[in-house]
């Protein structure tokens, strides 16, 4: 599943081609993508005639702000919140082109292009909501701070009483938003912390070190365009590059890049977790 760096890369790549464009209509080849409104006609009617004001991200959600329709008195903005899940992809293409085989949603733009959301495994979702409804959505409301918004004090408060293992804690989107399996393993290695250490057993200094490691790893991953393991591509069809910088993720039985000890894997929170038994204590 694309994590924070991948969705941030997508948002940055899409923004120049979408910001300021007018949505003239939409096609929904697969209505199961619609999580609200679930009706095709209602979705299309709500989206058409709006200007795309911003393209951003919250946690692992791509968030597109559609401005109020000037022809509708008292109209307000809407947020299109898209969750890529496992195999969701975006690209901008001429509206006249035939959509790809797995296209699930297309937003047609006044410049003759369309934003295409395709999804091979059909797990991705789209919600078109007023800002206040998005804020009230249970999942959205439960999200913890973004890594750069998380202060050491807040991180300490979130973790100091948790009996769960530290990897499970940082995978918890209510604790810190956007972290998945890849960046949890890489951050824990950078902080030299075993993934199965109880969160509350860490000293405040080690928790501060982990937060700094999370922030640094995420920044490096964004700079590299995210990580491509299987399906992820940028809107330009390019693979991410951070997978070439992995230190431990997916490298069980290989030597540790720091000490040479053999990397091992265990299950934490149902996820395969790779670490160095010598460097990470």
Residue in 57, 60, 104, 194 annotated catalytic: 60
Contact (CB, 8 A) for 279 and 192: yes
Angle, alpha carbons 227-143-12 (nearest 5°) = 40
Catalytic pick among 3, 6, 8, 186: 3
Annotated catalytic residue 2: yes
Clarify whether 271 is annotated catalytic.
yes
3-state SS track over the chain: CCCHHHHHHHHHHHHHHHCCCEEEEEECCCHHHEEECCCHHHHHHHHCCCEEEEEEEECCEEEEEECCCCCCCCCCCEEEEEECCCCEEEEEEECCCCCCCCEEEEEEECCCEEEEEEECCCCCEEEEECHHHHHHCHHHHHCCCCCCCCCHHHHHHHHCCCCCEHHHHHHCCCCCCCCCHHHHHHHHHHHCCCCCCEHHHCCHHHHHHHHHHHHHHHHHHHHCCCCCCCCCCCCCCCCCCHHHHCCCCCCCCCECCCCCCECEEEEECCEEEEECCCCCC
Asked if 57 is an active-site residue, the reply is no
60 as an active site residue: the answer is: yes
**Among 145, 192, 271, 277, the one annotated catalytic:** 271
- Name the residues annotated as catalytic: 2-3, 60, 271
């Amino acid at each position: 599943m694309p994590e924070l760096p991948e969705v941030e890369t997508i948002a940055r790549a899409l923004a120049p081609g979408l910001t300021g464009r007018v949505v003239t209509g939409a096609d929904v080849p697969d209505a199961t993508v619609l999580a609200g409104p679930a009706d095709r006609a209602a979705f299309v009617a709500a989206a058409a005639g709006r200007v795309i004001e911003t393209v951003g991200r919250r946690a692992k959600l791509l968030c597109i702000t559609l401005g109020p329709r000037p022809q509708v008195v008292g109209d307000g903005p809407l947020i299109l919140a898209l969750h890529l899940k496992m195999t969701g992809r975006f690209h901008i293409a001429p509206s006249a082109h035939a959509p790809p085989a797995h296209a699930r949603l297309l937003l047609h733009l006044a410049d003759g292009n369309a934003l295409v959301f395709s999804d091979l495994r059909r797990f991705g979702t789209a919600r078109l909501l007023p800002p206040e409804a998005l804020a009230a959505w249970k999942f959205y409301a439960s999200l913890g701070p973004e890594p750069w918004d998380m202060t050491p004090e807040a991180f300490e408060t979130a973790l100091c009483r948790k009996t769960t293992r530290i990897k499970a804690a940082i995978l918890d989107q209510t604790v810190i938003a956007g972290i998945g399996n890849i960046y949890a393993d890489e951050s824990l290695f950078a902080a030299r912390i075993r993934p199965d250490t109880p969160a509350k057993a860490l000293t405040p200094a080690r928790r501060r070190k982990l937060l700094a490691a999370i922030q640094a790893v995420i920044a490096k991953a964004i700079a590299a365009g995210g990580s491509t393991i299987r399906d992820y591509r940028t809107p330009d069809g390019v693979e991410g590059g951070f997978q070439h910088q992995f230190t431990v993720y997916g490298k069980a039985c290989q030597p540790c890049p720091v000490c040479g000890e053999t990397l091992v894997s265990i299950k934490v929170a149902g996820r395969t977790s790779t670490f160095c038994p010598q460097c990470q204590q």
